[in-house]
Amino acid sequence: MSAVPTETLWRDLTDPRRAANVDDLEAGMKEPVFENLEIPEKFGPVEIIVDDHKIKRFAFTQDDYNPWTLEDSPFKGKRIGHACLLGNDLLQLFTLKYAGSKTVG
């Protein structure tokens, strides 16, 4: 048996395809209240695909079409990601262990 998940990686930490096979996406998750927080608490590691689609989607939502991210950059011609490309995914780490639908604020 392999320790590596057989699921295909997705572009976002909150993969909408999970809803197709699961009745309750938050089953077994903690309620997000102060008393349930553990410090330190391990989240991850996680793997996320950063592909052309993710980069272009972020560029569109932020109206940021910097050619360094969409074409060649001065760094040996390799594209670079937007500074906050993974920002939303970092915020969503909390929902790996806590019920996101019950988060307030």
Query: What averages of pLDDT result for each successive group of 10 residues across the chain (105 residues)?
Result: 52 76 86 93 88 92 94 90 90 89 80
pTM (global) more than 0.75: no
Determine the structural domain holding residue 38 and report its residue range. 16-102
- From the list 54, 48, 36, the residue with the least C-alpha distance to 9 is 48
Q: 69, 59 in Cβ contact below 8 A?
A: yes
28 token code pair = 């077994």
In a domain, 29, yes or no: yes
What pLDDT is attached to residue 7?
60
**CB proximity list for 64: less than 8 A, separation 6 or greater:** 58, 82
CB under 8 Å, gap of 24 or more: what pairs does 36-43 form?
Answer: 36/98, 41/97, 43/93, 43/94, 43/96, 43/97
pLDDT, residue 61, reads 93
Instruction: Evaluate whether residue 44 is within a structural domain.
Output: yes
Query: Is there a domain that residue 48 lies in?
Result: yes
Asked if the structure places residue 6 within a domain, the reply is no
Determine, yes or no, domain membership for 33.
yes
**Domain assignment present for 68:** yes
How many domains is the chain partitioned into structurally?
1
